[in-house]
Amino acid sequence: MLRPLMFTLGLAAAAPALAQVRPFPPSFDARDIATNATTLHVRVGGSGPAVVLLHGYGETGDMWSPLAEDLARDHTVIVPDLRGLGLSARPAGGYDKKTQGEDIAGVLDALGVGEVDLVAHDIGNMVGFAFAAEHRDRVKRLVLMDAPLPGVGPWEEILKNPLLWHFRFGGPDMERLVAGRERIYLDRFWNEFSATPAKFTEASREHYAALYALPGAMHAGFEQFKAFDQDALDNQAFLAEGKLAMPVLAVGGDHSFGSGMADVVRFAATDVQGLVIGDAGHWLMEEQPDATVAAVRAFLDEAR
């Protein structure tokens, strides 16, 4: 049985006046890659089998720095900012997750990368699932962390949860309400969806609030949620072709999705391992980075 908080979604490269968060190792290179009629800001480092890390709402690819540092010891690690978020371009459309899955495919093509492991959190789960469903031969192992998939399993029940009013919050008037108040809006996610809000540090809050205050960033964030209805239709079409067959690790925080994460993912994949991270809400990389890194590392190493 999923607890109420389980149904939440928040979801550094150089940028002016941002508070310090844990940086990527100096061996990582940040670049802008043209893909699928837009441009994504991408960090790349390490060498070996490729792994892609996809962030969610309320954060950017910067959230992955501890995991990227660990995996770069024996992987090529690819960390984009999603379409419209962070330092990626903000096109007028294309925020459905099927389109964004093709954004990722284009990045990999530009880098000359074929098969990958894929690790995702929050809205990154939705983009990662779309990519895996469209490119089943390219994804070897998949990690989905603490967020549901539109149109999959108990999605309609999830939508009834009053905590998820933000799924339908958007449009010009809503953008006016949050303009200049991005930190207030985002604090709600970081506080309500954490087991221990203080673990989402002040430096991280300042950092991400500044990025979401950039021109067009909040609009792009709202567009991510606005696309959920189309995402649900696309996901149902993907599943009509069969569930995912690659190994999947479904991770939930014990104060958030918990073991229900694996229950949901089993509607979409046949080979699912479930894992619960203790003393954690939705923000696993902030609240329990060591345990989360260890869990992802162990799962990816199973194939070695």
Angle between helices 202-212 and 182-192 (to 10 degrees): 130
Q: What is the pLDDT of residues 140-198, one digit of tens each?
A: 999 999 999 999 999 888 877 767 667 667 788 888 999 999 999 999 999 999 999 99
CA 277 to chain centre: 17
Instruction: Check residue 165 and report its DSSP letter.
Output: G
User: What's the token pair of residue 242?
Assistant: 């069969």
Beta-carbon contacts of 58 under 8 Å, excluding residues fewer than 6 positions away, are 10, 11, 122, 186, 189, 190, 208, 212
Could you give the CA distance from residue 275 to residue 273 in angstroms, rounded to a whole number?
7
Q: Which domains does the chain have, with CATH numbers?
A: 4-301 (3.40.50.1820)
Could you give the CA distance from residue 238 to residue 288 in angstroms, rounded to a whole number?
33
Which range has the worst mean pLDDT, 152-166, 217-231, 279-293? 152-166
Q: Where do runs of H (alpha helix) occur along 94-216?
A: 97-111, 123-134, 155-159, 172-178, 182-192, 202-212
pLDDT band at 21 (very low <50, low <70, confident <90, very high): confident
pTM: 0.93
Would strands 38-46 and 29-35 be described as parallel, antiparallel, or unpaired? antiparallel
Three-state secondary structure call for residue 39: strand
Three-state secondary structure call for residue 298: helix
Query: Is 132 within 8 Å of 239 (Cβ atoms)?
Result: no
286 pLDDT above the threshold of 50: yes
Could you give the CA distance from residue 254 to residue 239 in angstroms, rounded to a whole number?
28
Residue at 181: amino acid letter: R
What beta strand segments (E) does 172-268 contain?
248-253
Which range has the worst mean pLDDT, 13-22, 261-270, 286-295? 13-22
pLDDT band at 6 (very low <50, low <70, confident <90, very high): very low
Could you give the CA distance from residue 206 to residue 263 in angstroms, rounded to a whole number?
35
